[in-house]
Structure 1
Amino acid sequence: MTALSYPAPQPPQAAAPAWCPVRRTVTLFRHEPLLLDCGAAVSHIRVAYHTYGEAREDATLVLHALTGNSAVHEWWPGFLGEGQPLDPTQEFVICANVLGGCAGTTGPAELPSLAGEDAPLTLRDMARVGRALLDHLGVRRVRVVGASMGGMLAYAWLLECPDLVERAVVIGAPVRHSPWAIGLNTAARSAIGAAPGGEGLKVARQIAMLSYRSPESFAQTQSGLRAPGQPAITSYLHHHGEKLQARFCERSYVALTRAMDAFQPSDAELGSIRAPVLVVGIRSDVLYPPAEVQQGAALLPRATYWELDSVHGHDAFLMDAGELPAQVRAFLHG
């Protein structure tokens, strides 16, 4: 008798989400140019963006960090999904690569040169490009969520587009860059200038990575040796430098860090913001210390401050979010 053969049982497949990311690229300012704050006029600006959920006139706009991109599902999966703060089953979620970035949107090499150098960009320039994208998508009102550079850009949106922004969440970001933050960026740009072609960008990333974590975090995660004779922290920094060099543009790094350093709104401007804002500090953040973030929040008429308790420094919003998703969801949708 021939033994019957049955297929081995297969584990149940996870149900596909009711939504999926949609990536598109659009060319804006075809008929009238965008006037940058530096005075240069730019036409035909290409913007790469992702959307999640069904299009509607109100949306949640996500603003990415310095070396981020528009693919929120890749770099913030704990915040995006059914029941999460960014829920595509209930809302229309949008994220665009910023002007001057290098993930599909018009970058520095495609912008005008002034006196032989890349035209300086501002966070307000980026907000105006974002507004044009919302116009293209038919969006009339937004809730804004941004962390790190995205948090600073959220402040630019609040100042530049007060008629569009219903409320905003600012995570791990100051209202303006301090001498400490400007100094770190200056050192990073000096490294790029001293060793163009990629090697300087690796060093710039190493400088940044030291500010993105905390001494306690590194003591927990990068102690000892990872290879014979090489400290784990050394291997860690080299690894992250090489990863960024492989995927990012040094001209974008220079342009975006300069834009962050130049963002210096006055107390009076900040006091004019009328939208409710949830401002989140991170207890162990050495790049943007929580006291600095809280002091900035105190300048806003309708700000609520909350602090994330984590040892992992500035990057905690990505790697150790704790109660942050619940706080953001309650503020956006409560």
Structure 2
Amino acid sequence: MTAVTYAPDLPPPPVPERCFRQQTARLFREAPLLLDCGQPVSDVRVAYHTYGTPSDHAVLVLHALTGSSAVHEWWPEFLGEGRPLDPTRDYIVCANVLGGCAGTTGPAELPRVQGEDAPITLRDMARVGRALLEELGVRRVSVIGASMGGMLAYAWLLECPDLVDRAVIIGAPARHSPWAIGLNTAARSAIRAAPGGEGLKVARQIAMLSYRSPASFALTQAGCGTRRPGTPAITTYLEYQGEKLAARFCERSYLALTGAMDRFQPSDAELRSIRVPVLAVGISSDVLYPPDEVRAHADLLPQGQYRELVSPHGHDAFLMDPQNLPGWAAAFLHRP
């Protein structure tokens, strides 16, 4: 295998349109998918992007809670020639998750259970992803995911151990703590109390407070903002983030996906059963998933490694302040 070089000081080059394809697959048309809740689902639609030349080995990218399969839009530091996800070298696949609202079958198309949307799980999502890979002729994958995508990577390691060669898990624990569940509970309560978009705006504001850190906001949101003179910058920032998410995301998907994350509670014994190499990256100022928590779960993995990204910007540092993170991921994904 040739050595991987990565130049972190170069600006991310744009990914030419010829290097990626946006497609939709229809899966489980002959035999249904049985959800963990016991409900069968047929004709599941999966929207996905691929980058590079089709191969029986792929790098599988798992997106965050409100992300999408369009990796070139939200992770430019990672995608491109000479970067961890290189379409000239790798076949890269990223699919929108089951229950989301970016083209894959969403809550409104799933069965109802006792008058509510069927509870989906991260393992359900992994099984849908496995069916997509089979459709694409992919037999083995290296996995990379951050935030919810990192938790989903743990689900892949447990649900599909025969498919995964190695995994890079960024800013994510193996299971939610009471603190993380509490934040999601508050967000879901806001949505249920004010359906129709207003509650989703508040849910996003709650989430944004956990995605950054006090130091990050002191650096970026001190003083008064420009949107409304005399109003604290942090206030207008949170209002803007809420409005932006409400314009593009579905509140039922927010309920479904945060619930799936909270329900994912693998035991220590299950984590010790994971035999493939895993690189877990914690973020020094992450208040949502503190680095000690990420490290503790990585330490349970027989071939787990831990590195820490030092940044004042909290959980979102993997997007806004990645520093050496792309280089670490490249070295781990492509080592002999």
Q: Is the aligned partner of 1:242 residue 2:243?
A: yes
Q: Is the aligned partner of 1:31 residue 2:30?
A: yes
CA-CA distance at 1:214 after TM superposition: 0.4
After superposition, give the CA deviation of every residue in 1:39-80 in whole Å (9 maximum; x if it has no partner).
000000000000000000000000000000100000001100
Does structure 1 conserve the Cα–Cα contact (< 8 Å) formed by 2:15 and 2:79? no
Does structure 2 conserve the Cα–Cα contact (< 8 Å) formed by 1:19 and 1:53? no
Same amino acid, percent of matched pairs = 75
After superposition, give the CA deviation of every residue in 1:242-282 in whole Å (9 maximum; x if it has no partner).
00000000000000000000000011111000010000000
Q: Is the aligned partner of 1:294 residue 2:295?
A: yes
Whole-angstrom CA distance in 2 between matches of 1:80 and 1:15? 9
One-letter amino acid of the counterpart of residue 219, structure 1: A
* Closer, same or farther: CA 82–195 of 1 in aligned 2, 3 Å: same
Whole-angstrom CA distance in 2 between matches of 1:328 and 1:297? 16
CA-CA distance at 1:36 after TM superposition: 0.3
**TM-score, normalising length: structure 1:** 0.95
After superposition, give the CA deviation of every residue in 1:68-123 in whole Å (9 maximum; x if it has no partner).
01000000011000010000100100000000000000000000000000000000
Per the alignment, residue 93 of structure 2 pairs with: 94
Per the alignment, residue 49 of structure 2 pairs with: 50
Does structure 2 conserve the Cα–Cα contact (< 8 Å) formed by 1:18 and 1:89? no
Higher gyration radius (CA): 1
Whole-angstrom CA distance in 2 between matches of 1:125 and 1:17? 33
CA-CA distance at 1:20 after TM superposition: 2.0
Per the alignment, residue 109 of structure 2 pairs with: 110
CA-CA distance at 1:240 after TM superposition: 0.3
Whole-angstrom CA distance in 1 between matches of 2:170 and 2:58? 19
CA-CA distance at 1:18 after TM superposition: 8.8
Match of 2:26, SS state, is: strand
Structure 1: runs of 5+ lacking an equivalent? 1-13
Per the alignment, residue 306 of structure 2 pairs with: 305
Does structure 2 conserve the Cα–Cα contact (< 8 Å) formed by 1:152 and 1:176? yes
Q: Is the aligned partner of 1:189 residue 2:188?
A: yes
Whole-angstrom CA distance in 1 between matches of 2:90 and 2:293? 33
Whole-angstrom CA distance in 1 between matches of 2:18 and 2:85? 12
Whole-angstrom CA distance in 1 between matches of 2:239 and 2:290? 26
Q: Is the aligned partner of 1:155 residue 2:137?
A: no
After superposition, give the CA deviation of every residue in 1:180-224 in whole Å (9 maximum; x if it has no partner).
000000000000000000000000000000000000000000000
Q: Is the aligned partner of 1:326 residue 2:327?
A: yes
Match of 1:87, SS state, is: coil
Q: Give the RMSD, CA atoms, in angstroms.
A: 1.1
Q: Is the aligned partner of 1:180 residue 2:179?
A: yes
Whole-angstrom CA distance in 2 between matches of 1:36 and 1:47? 16
One-letter amino acid of the counterpart of residue 201, structure 2: K
Q: Is the aligned partner of 1:217 residue 2:216?
A: yes
After superposition, give the CA deviation of every residue in 1:108-156 in whole Å (9 maximum; x if it has no partner).
0000000000000000000000000000000000000000000000000
Per the alignment, residue 3 of structure 1 pairs with: none
CA-CA distance at 1:19 after TM superposition: 4.8
Per the alignment, residue 169 of structure 1 pairs with: 168
After the TM superposition, which residues 203-214 of structure 1 pair with which residues of structure 2 at under 5 Å, given as runs?
Answer: 203-214=202-213
CA-CA distance at 1:16 after TM superposition: 7.3
CA-CA distance at 1:17 after TM superposition: 4.2
Does structure 2 conserve the Cα–Cα contact (< 8 Å) formed by 1:32 and 1:43? yes
CA-CA distance at 1:21 after TM superposition: 1.7
One-letter amino acid of the counterpart of residue 38, structure 1: C
Q: Is the aligned partner of 1:123 residue 2:154?
A: no
Match of 1:225, SS state, is: coil
Q: Is the aligned partner of 1:258 residue 2:288?
A: no
Whole-angstrom CA distance in 1 between matches of 2:308 and 2:232? 32
**TM-score, normalising length: structure 2:** 0.94
Match of 2:322, SS state, is: coil
One-letter amino acid of the counterpart of residue 251, structure 2: E
Per the alignment, residue 62 of structure 1 pairs with: 61
Whole-angstrom CA distance in 2 between matches of 1:248 and 1:21? 24
Does structure 1 conserve the Cα–Cα contact (< 8 Å) formed by 2:14 and 2:80? no
After the TM superposition, which residues 136-155 of structure 1 pair with which residues of structure 2 at under 5 Å, given as runs?
Answer: 136-155=135-154
Q: Is the aligned partner of 1:73 residue 2:72?
A: yes
Does structure 1 conserve the Cα–Cα contact (< 8 Å) formed by 2:55 and 2:91? yes
Whole-angstrom CA distance in 1 between matches of 2:229 and 2:278? 49
Please identify runs of 4+ aligned residues in structure 1 that moved more than 3 A: 14-19
